[in-house]
Amino acid sequence: MSLLSQNFITLIIGNSRLHWGYFQNRQLITTWNTNHLEKAITDLPTALFPREVIDDTSSYQGDNFIKSNNLFSVPIPPSPPFIKGRSFSEDWGDQFSLNNLPVYIASVVSKQTQLWDDYPHKKIITLEDIPLTNTYATLGVDRALCVYGAGETYGYPVLVIDGGTALTYTAVGKEYNFLGGAILPGLRLQLRALNQNTAALPQVSLPDTLPQLWGDSTKSAIASGVIHTIISGIDNYLTAWWEQFPQGKVILTGGDGLLLQQFLQEKSLFCGNKTLVDQTLMFQGMAKLITNHLCRT
């Protein structure tokens, strides 16, 4: 079935949340997040969707919508108030459902994927669907979609740095050649691990600005150690990247993508000014895949 002129939903099932995107005429209109589902899906209850999606999104002109022609530095808007924090364990009853709306799903949580087994209008996207060469079998579909979306939007070669629970580097060269990457604990995970795996170290919140290098308290020392080490590591990777690919693109994404760019710039690292931030890479990757490949099969 061709979806080139239809609306559709994209769903990225992450380790802790569901990340949704609504497309109208192949244009990304809005994104939102919800908690994981707790029961199987046979249709699409409206409790899962913002009111603007349920109504007519084509007439909505609010500031919280991500427009597909403005992808350089746009944050994913917060979850709509009426679904934030919902566990979806309650009975949906006779709510109106968005029947027949196609849903494209990319997942890293198999138990959540299984809850969609009985929804007939779905397509599960796997690593094999993404036109990258030289990948390895355990490469996460989320990483592959991010770097594919970045390359198709900004050009190749491209390096994506995803500041999420894990901090990941994923690189693709010309002709869709997957070059490899790196994975390490993200900013918040490192801060949390020190608190949870030691007897006396406190929990430290992520600061809004780059901490001073020499911490004058336990908390400031922890913030300095974690943040400056990560930022210096990013700088090393970017230096090596641009030595190999002088015209290569670098896109930061994920929940801490914008903050990582800010830290790079505050540290007066030249590489910080050469990076872009785009929180929609996975959605753009799915849209490009749907349009260029899946709709032609």
User: Which residues are tagged catalytic?
Assistant: 142
| Residue that the structure tokens 């589902």 belong to | 37
What's the burial of 134, exposed, middle or buried (CB within 10 Å: 0-12/13-18/19+)? exposed
Q: Give me the amino acid identity at 236.
A: N
Give the integer Cα–Cα distance in Å for 221 and 215: 4
Backbone angles phi, psi at 15, to 5 degrees: -65, -30
Feature table: binding site:
12-19, 136, 140-143, 162, 165, 218
Give the integer Cα–Cα distance in Å for 151 and 24: 22
Mutual angle of helices 218-244 and 257-266, in 10-degree steps: 90
In degrees to the nearest 10, what's the CA dihedral of 276, 280, 282, 284? -100
Feature table: binding site for substrate:
136, 140-143, 218
Residues 6 or more apart whose CB falls under 8 angstroms from that of 10 comprise 20, 21, 23, 103, 104, 105, 106, 283, 286, 287
